[in-house]
């Protein structure tokens, strides 16, 4: 398939929330989304960054945003060109601008939708608004030729990744199935990233994603990712701890 995958930088945010581990205090992280330009008329966006207008998010996370329309314009696209939208999960920094995509069918895992409708999980109005065309999925699903949702729970109950077939091999948008490329290579560190009680699922999802043998792997909060599977063989057995 002549699909291509492109990283969009949508925001940077503080990691000072009560939900983050102490090692992340006083640092900022980047928030990435991914654009898949397909060989057909489909245009897929994976995640939509941080929304606007929430007092708590502004105060605690101090987001600096790049307008998503600006990022799309680099590829000659407008928000109305996006007809497929995938939320890897529904934390506030992954679904914040869903409402900017009125033409899009939105793919979310059904158990993610369920937990996101409970209090204090996310900013609910950023994904649950009048006119949102949400398609609740359970498990894996092909959403366009050569583009497949892969269920990868652990970071959240309904986290999902996206596998894209390209002429040069598979490209995996792992999203936040792991926090960084290094962590992914080590097989995952659930202490830092897993939803409480889902530590085993977190590790299983990473080993499952590794089994698809992608040429390139992309993450929500790490801009490393290209050809990292090749580097893996240089790590000692059992990986390295940093």
Which residues in 138-177 contact Zn ion (CB under 5 A)?
176
**Total binding residues toward Zn ion, as defined by CB under 5 A:** 2
Helix (H, G, I), strand (E, B) or coil at 69: helix
- Least separation in angstroms between residue 214's CB and Zn ion is 21
- Least separation in angstroms between residue 169's CB and Zn ion is 27
Distance, CA of 144 to CA of 50 (rounded, Å):
26
91 binds Zn ion per the rule CB under 5 A: yes
Distance, CA of 1 to CA of 18 (rounded, Å):
43
- Least separation in angstroms between residue 10's CB and Zn ion is 14
Tokens coding 24: 């992340």
Q: Nearer to Zn ion by C-beta: 101 or 202?
A: 202
210 binds Zn ion per the rule CB under 5 A: no
Stretch that binds Zn ion, among 11-19, 36-44, 85-93, 109-117 (CB under 5 A): 85-93
- Least separation in angstroms between residue 72's CB and Zn ion is 23
- Least separation in angstroms between residue 76's CB and Zn ion is 30
Q: Closest-CB residue for Zn ion?
A: 91
Q: Nearer to Zn ion by C-beta: 65 or 159?
A: 159
Stretch that binds Zn ion, among 18-26, 87-95, 182-190, 210-218 (CB under 5 A): 87-95
Distance, CA of 69 to CA of 19 (rounded, Å):
30
By CB atoms closer than 10 A (0-12, 13-18, 19+), residue 43 is buried
Query: CA 130 → CA 111, 123, 125, distances in Å?
Result: 20, 15, 9
138 contacts 185 by C-beta, under 8 angstroms: no
195 binds Zn ion per the rule CB under 5 A: no
**Beta strand ranges found along 43-157 (DSSP E):** 43-46, 64-65, 84-86, 105-109, 134-137, 141-144, 147-151
- Least separation in angstroms between residue 24's CB and Zn ion is 13
Q: Nearer to Zn ion by C-beta: 27 or 80?
A: 27
Residues that bind Zn ion (CB under 5 A): 91, 176
């Amino acid at each position: 398939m002549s699909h291509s995958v492109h990283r969009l930088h949508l925001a940077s945010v503080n990691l000072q929330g009560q939900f983050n581990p102490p090692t992340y205090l006083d640092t900022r992280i980047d928030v990435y989304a991914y654009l898949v330009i397909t060989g057909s008329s489909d245009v897929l966006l994976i995640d939509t960054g941080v929304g606007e207008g929430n007092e708590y998010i502004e105060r605690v996370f101090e987001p600096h945003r790049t307008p998503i329309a600006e990022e799309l314009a680099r590829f000659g696209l407008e928000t109305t060109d996006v007809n497929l939208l995938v939320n890897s999960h529904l934390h506030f920094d992954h679904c914040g601008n869903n409402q900017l995509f009125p033409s899009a069918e939105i793919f979310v895992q059904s158990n993610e939708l369920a937990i996101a409708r409970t209090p204090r999980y996310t900013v609910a109005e950023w994904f649950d608004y009048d006119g949102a065309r949400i398609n609740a999925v359970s498990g894996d699903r092909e959403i366009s030729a050569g583009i497949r949702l892969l269920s990868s729970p652990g970071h959240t109950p309904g986290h999902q990744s996206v596998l894209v077939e390209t002429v040069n091999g598979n490209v995996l948008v792992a999203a936040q199935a792991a926090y960084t490329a290094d962590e992914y290579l080590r097989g995952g560190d659930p202490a830092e990233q897993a939803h409480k009680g889902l530590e085993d699922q977190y590790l299983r999802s990473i080993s499952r994603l590794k089994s698809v043998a992608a040429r390139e792997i992309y993450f929500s909060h790490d801009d490393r990712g290209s050809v990292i599977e090749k580097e893996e063989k240089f790590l000692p057995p059992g990986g390295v701890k940093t």
